[in-house]
Structure 1
Amino acid sequence: MNRIKQLFEQKRNNVLSIYFTAGYPNIDSTLDIAEALEKAGADFLEIGVPYSDPLADGPVIQNSSQKAIENGMTVKVLFEQLKDLRKRVSIPVLLMGYVNPVLQYGVENFCSKCAEVGVDGVIVPDLPMYEYEELYQDCFIQNQLSNIFLITPTTSEARIRRIDELSNGFIYLLSTSSTTGKNLSVSSQVEDYFSRIKSMELRNPTMIGFGISDNKSFSKASEYANGAIVGSAFVKILAEENYLEKIPEFIGSLKGKEAVSY
């Protein structure tokens, strides 16, 4: 059983995931940030693989991706850095990125490297479901990698059911069909969408992402799903001085608790 499944067996509510971009703000900051996030109380991590054309990302994450590329971050460099991942981090870790860099690296090589360094899952928003099924599913299964699918407010029930059958980690619910970085606005339409997914009683846990930035939005999302994913709001912290020292306070504010000191 991989770490993602273990996590959701042990914790069913208010699960907090944090996204940040590999190689930002500095080329060698990835593991320092990951370790600090675990110590501060994050439940699992999503490390973004920077890409030059990140269509689903808003300006904050686009900027971090561009800076990371300028710093020299590549898939190869990231895997080199992640060799020491499991010496420093015990919580689940996923890689999130676009299909182009994965194809350039080679899907089989990518999956085997993930397994080698201790990565638990992959989120590739622009990988078509039929391609995953027909071409890559066996490779993911052999390397005990969870492939995380995304659902939007316009996803049909039939597709959601198929995603649930194919999934073996959790399902990523986008709060909106727009880009990352927009604050979560829980209109009656959004609540209906969240309620519809919850009433389907899916086999896999669900996590809500896009627009989660504070305790209010995290708590609201956690009413409808097992937890929520914070991206842009955290990446903003990384642009500040002494960002590692600010991580405990940030995680504490999301959870509505005092910061964990270490």
Structure 2
Amino acid sequence: MNRIKKKFDALKEKKEKALVGFLTAGDPDLSTSLDIITQMCKAGLDVLELGIPFSDPTADGPVIQRSSARSLKKGVNLSEILKMTKKLRKTIDIPIILFTYYNPVIAFGVEKFYMEARKAGADGTLVVDLPLEESDEMTKFWDNDDDFSFIRLLAPTTPKDRMEKILKERPSGFIYLVSKTGVTGSDGLKSSIVLKQMKTIRQVSDLPVCVGFGISTPKDVSQIASFADGVVIGSAFERLIEGNINKSELPSIMAQKVKEYKKATIF
């Protein structure tokens, strides 16, 4: 049984929902980033989305764009992030998802990415800009590997017939439901729209569903966690890094925020 399934099964038994945390790897630098992530995982993060910095993150708002820029300025690349993943795996046992755009993967080599990611201890990948019709370019390399997931994205505008097509193509791990149109970190979370889309997803798949985009407060977390299997927080974490970037206690500040969010996932 892979780590993702084990994690969601364990959370269900405890009547908890998953706290999924996105962090841009290497922000503000590789050493501090590793310390931040390690402390956040130990503080209660259930799933880690390790963001691979990219020069043109079109799905992301200004906060994550700036975090990518800071990381790239430090020379962080995919090879360094795979080394970071390997280091993290020595001390943490939660699922690690490599969150990326397709360009860095193509530049690195698609098959090589899969092989090196598995070797480093990653549990799957989420490729923001790779549509269903082209995703076989990646997934063909691990058709018989149930322990490495290709996380599928659904939008608030995805119709049921399109969902069925997407979730028919080797779905695994969990489903990432984008809460609204727009970019990460934007305001205007409407739980009624998310709930409606959730009900449709439940008709076509029994995979766990995690909701992201626009979730920034414990109240938001509690609201979404009342009907979803998990919540994804990214911009709120990166905003906290940006606001405390020169403080030596930054890792402990991040860990404390994880504890606050995690409380809101327990019912």
Q: Equivalent of 1:186, from 185, 190, 194?
A: 190
Give the drift of 1:185: 2.0
Q: Percent identity?
A: 36
Contact 2:163 2:204 (8 Å CA) reproduced: no
In structure 1, the partner of 2:176 is 172
Q: Match for residue 4 of structure 1?
A: 4
User: Is contact 2:36-2:255 (8 Å) kept?
Assistant: no
Partner of residue 260, structure 1: none
Correspondent of 2:44 among 27, 30, 41 = 41
Q: CA RMSD in A?
A: 1.7
Give 3-state SS (helix, strand or coil) of 1:25's partner. coil
In the alignment, what sits opposite 2:252?
Answer: 245
1:122-141 maps to which residues of 2 (within 5 A)?
122-133=125-136, 135-141=137-143
Q: Which amino acid aligns with 2:261?
A: L
Worse overlay, 179-188 or 20-29: 179-188
Alpha-carbon distance between aligned partners in 1 of 2:69 and 2:219, rounded to the nearest angstrom = 30
Task: Report the residue type matching 1:164 in the other structure.
Answer: L
Could you tell me which amino acid in structure 2 is paired with residue 140 of structure 1? W
Q: Which runs of 5+ in 1 are unaligned?
A: 258-262
Q: How far apart in 2 are the matches of 1:146 and 1:131?
A: 16
1:15 aligned onto 2:22: no
Q: Following TM superposition, by how much is the alpha carbon of 1:184 offset from its aligned partner in structure 2, in angstroms? A: 4.8
Shifted more, 221-230 versus 141-150: the winner is 141-150
Q: What does the per-residue CA deviation read over 1:169-215, in whole Å, with 9 as the maximum and x for residues that have no partner?
A: 000000012100023522644443334334x2622110000011111
1:221 match: 224
Aligned to 2:94: 91
- Secondary structure at the aligned position of 2:226 is classed as helix
Tell me, in whole angstroms, the C-alpha distance in 1 between the residues paired with 2:201 and 2:44. 27
For residues 129-168 of structure 1, the aligned pairs below 5 Å read 129-133=132-136, 135-142=137-144, 144-165=147-168, 166-168=170-172
Deviation at 1:235, TM superposition (A): 0.9
State the 1:14 CA deviation. Answer: 1.5
| Residues in 1 aligned to 2:21 and 2:191: alpha-carbon distance in whole angstroms | 24
Write the distance in 2 (CA, Å) between the matches of 1:80 and 1:248.
22
Post-superposition Cα deviations, 1:49-88, rounded to whole Å, max 9, x if no partner, equal: 0000000000000000001000111111212333322212
2:263 pairs with 237, 248, 256, which one? 256
Check whether the contact 1:93–1:120 (CA below 8 A) recurs between aligned residues.
yes
CA deviations over 1:137-162 (Å, ceiling 9, x no partner):
23133553100011001112122123
Residue type matched to 1:125 in 2?
Answer: V
Quick check: 1:115 aligned with 2:118? yes
Give TM-score scaled by structure 2 length.
0.89
Length-normalised TM-score, structure 1: 0.91
Secondary structure of the corresponding residue to residue 238 of structure 1: helix
Counterparts in 2 of 1:188 and 1:16: CA distance versus 1, 3 Å:
closer
Query: Structure 1 residue 22: deviation in Å?
Result: 0.7
Quote the offset at 1:16 in angstroms: 0.4
1:234 Cα shift? 0.6
Do the aligned residues in 2 keep the contact of 1:34 with 1:89 (CA within 8 Å)? no
Q: Distance in 2 between matches of 1:142 and 1:191?
A: 33
Q: What number of residue pairs does the alignment pair up?
A: 255
Q: CA deviation at 1:19?
A: 0.3
Find runs of 4+ consecutive structure 1 residues off by over 2 angstroms. 27-31, 80-83, 140-144, 162-166, 187-198
CA distance in 1, matches of 2:259, 2:89: 24
